Structure 1
Amino acid sequence: MDTFRKYINPGAGEDANQPDWGISILNVGHYIHPAGKIYPDAVHPDEYFFDYAKGRVLSEYQLVYIASGTGIFEAEFIGQVNVQPGTIFFLYPGIWHRFKPDEENGWSEYWVGFGGSYANHLMKQDCFSPEHPLIYMGFNAEFINIFIQLIDTIKFDGMGSNQLAGCLTIQLLGLVYASALLKLQSSSRKSQIINNIKYSIHENLNSDISPEKLAEKHNVSYAWFRKSFKEITGQSPGQYQLNLKIQKAAKMLLETDLGICDIAYQNGFESEYYFSRLFKSKMNLSPSRYRKEFLSRKE
């Protein structure tokens, strides 16, 4: 698609006598910024041009979709974030921001600037927030086709074009909202499965149930389970299970008179030697030393 951009004076021209639908399109465009060039290019009007070192503040909403290339984004409430192809970021009225493509890659961007009373209502929905301005859409053919229709509508500037462009922008926001909700539901579902598996680990702590068996029991693949578990807990399933066993064994050393061998077997360790070695690696003391130091502090 060819480069296009247009900045609009709302209420001017043929749309001056058209009804106000609560969303006004202020600018729209598609631009391919080549690698090795300074960003943004000098064609921006003064109120939109910015020096990256200083950033800028707008008085409108903007939806920016990066179709290809990579770069960085930063705003008032978040630090610098890497931008990948398929990323959408929102710019909010009165919120400082700055962004640019990587010099070695450049990027292709679509954007629409908008405002109005209904726009304010839409941008107060749960998934739209200045604190979380980035949403990963990925490649979405319907989304890009609507953006192309939006650009064509503004380009050919017929009767009611701004109202039609407003409807298309609402469709874009609806797709973004649906995408964000699906990702949230997927994330919630993932957390629910992992929490169920964590409960199973606690319930079977004395046994030697393997992570593979846990995955099978909960109808997920081991590869998905291992990746998702580490993503949510920060530990592999095996390490999580081992840490729980060591914590329980440490409690038994302090609260019971059981021998180290008995404690090892009750916690599913195959031998006293294996248990002692793992215990020392986690607690920096052997089991016997750990018990002795605690008892000496009590006296």
Structure 2
Amino acid sequence: MKQFRQYFTFASNNTADTLGINVLNLGHNIHPVNKPYPDIQHPDSYYFEWEKGRSLKEYQIIYISKGEGYFESNGLPPQLIESGTIILLYPGIWHRFRPKEETGWEEYWVGFSGAYAKYLLEQECFNPQNPIIKVGFNTEFLETFSRFIALAEVQEASYLKLSSFLLIQLLGIVYTSVLLSNQKKSRKEEIIDQIRNEIHRKWNNHIDFEELAKRNNLSYVWFRKTFKEVLGTSPNQYHLLLKLRKAEQIIQDSNLTLSEVAYQCGFESEFYFSRIFKKKMNYNPSEIRKKNMSHPEF
């Protein structure tokens, strides 16, 4: 896949300010392996050198959906960042982060300010000195970000106000994730979370779930039943939906043919990929490309 960066800045927004929240910028990037970070396309006002780090004048949510890396901040020792991690940045707090050279990473981010944002992020469950939140693969989070980017591309008359509503939705997901992470998980949930993370790491590979259960010292019957109990779907269906969501994102963010996307996402053929995509997502994958062509980037 090509290196990809999509970055939007938002104009001053009095309507959104009345909601107590103001979206400042938004972006998505797939940073490839063995490349310096940040890359040369990084916005000048946010570029930083690793040795110096940086601090911001705004809040930012950064979601690492794929890959691994490192994060450091005032009062916080170096942290390993895995896929499925949110980094919550506060104004005036020094920090630095980068992906591992051997993995690269995929990142989404949004910068914002406002009284409501300040109120929410000063709640007891949040800690500016410990801004790492592990949420795993969160389809709702990714879908909201995708809608956010699509809205910024089109810039319809109401996009500034709608962008604030989408940001509030993202913050709600983050807030809920923090509250849930503070609750003690059952042993069942811990086991399924561990296996779900492995599925996410190997999302475009064939996964033998019976073998996966065996490697984790579980019977397949217990594993399948418990997986569905915890996540509401079977392991196979979860893995399939994961691949389809990733395929949708690749189609949006690249010029790969549908055949290349199908291969990259582990499907046996373009025909099977298109058929199962239509069945599960209720629209054809080719419609994504047509929509993008009708709304070119600005």
Same structural fold, with TM-score higher than 0.5 when normalized by the shorter chain: yes
Q: Are residues 38 and 120 of structure 1, via their aligned partners in 2, closer, same or farther at CA, if it must alter by over 3 Å?
A: same
CA contact (8 A) 1:69 1:106 kept: yes
Gaps of 5+ in 2: 188-298
Q: Which residue of 2 aligns with 1:8?
A: 10
Taking the TM superposition and a 5 Å limit, the aligned residue runs for 1:209-224 are none
Q: Which residue of 2 aligns with 1:120?
A: 118
Q: Which residue of 1 aligns with 2:39?
A: 41
Q: State how far apart, in whole Å, the 1-side matches of 2:42 and 2:132 are.
A: 23
Find the residue that maps to 1:54 and give its secondary structure: coil
Q: CA deviation at 1:46?
A: 2.3
What percentage of aligned pairs have identical amino acids?
46
Match of residue 84, structure 1, among 61, 76, 82: 82
Find the residue that maps to 1:55 and give its secondary structure: coil
Q: Which residue of 2 aligns with 1:244?
A: none
CA RMSD after TM alignment: 1.9
CA contact (8 A) 2:72 2:97 kept: yes
Q: State how far apart, in whole Å, the 2-side matches of 1:45 and 1:155 are.
A: 18
Q: Which residue of 2 aligns with 1:290?
A: none
Q: Which residue of 2 aligns with 1:218?
A: none
Q: CA deviation at 1:3?
A: 3.8
Q: CA deviation at 1:21?
A: 1.6
Q: CA deviation at 1:108?
A: 0.1
CA contact (8 A) 1:63 1:91 kept: yes
Q: Which residue of 1 aligns with 2:49?
A: 51
Find the residue that maps to 1:6 and give its secondary structure: strand
Find the residue that maps to 1:144 and give its secondary structure: helix
Q: Which residue of 1 aligns with 2:62?
A: 64
CA contact (8 A) 2:37 2:98 kept: yes
Q: Which residue of 2 aligns with 1:151?
A: 149
Q: State how far apart, in whole Å, the 1-side matches of 2:17 and 2:47 are.
A: 31
CA contact (8 A) 2:17 2:114 kept: no
Find the residue that maps to 2:184 and give its secondary structure: helix
CA contact (8 A) 1:58 1:93 kept: yes
Task: Please tell me the residue identity of whatever aligns with 1:8.
Answer: F
Q: State how far apart, in whole Å, the 1-side matches of 2:142 and 2:57 are.
A: 26
Q: Deviations over 1:194-234 (max 9, x none)?
A: xxxxxxxxxxxxxxxxxxxxxxxxxxxxxxxxxxxxxxxxx
Q: Are residues 19 and 83 of structure 1, via their aligned partners in 2, closer, same or farther at CA, if it must alter by over 3 Å?
A: closer
Larger radius of gyration: 1
Find the residue that maps to 1:65 and give its secondary structure: strand
Q: Deviations over 1:223-251 (max 9, x none)?
A: xxxxxxxxxxxxxxxxxxxxxxxxxxxxx
Find the residue that maps to 2:153 and give its secondary structure: helix
Q: State how far apart, in whole Å, the 1-side matches of 2:58 and 2:177 are.
A: 23
CA contact (8 A) 1:77 1:130 kept: no
Q: CA deviation at 1:126?
A: 2.1
Match of residue 163, structure 2, among 155, 162, 165: 165
Q: State how far apart, in whole Å, the 2-side matches of 1:105 and 1:169 are.
A: 29
Task: Please tell me the residue identity of whatever aligns with 1:34.
Answer: P
Task: Please tell me the residue identity of whatever aligns with 1:184.
Answer: N
Task: Please tell me the residue identity of whatever aligns with 1:44.
Answer: H
Q: State how far apart, in whole Å, the 2-side matches of 1:3 and 1:46 are.
A: 14
Query: Which runs of structure 1 show a deviation greater than 3 angstroms over 4 or more consecutive aligned residues?
Result: 16-19
Q: Which residue of 2 aligns with 1:28?
A: 26
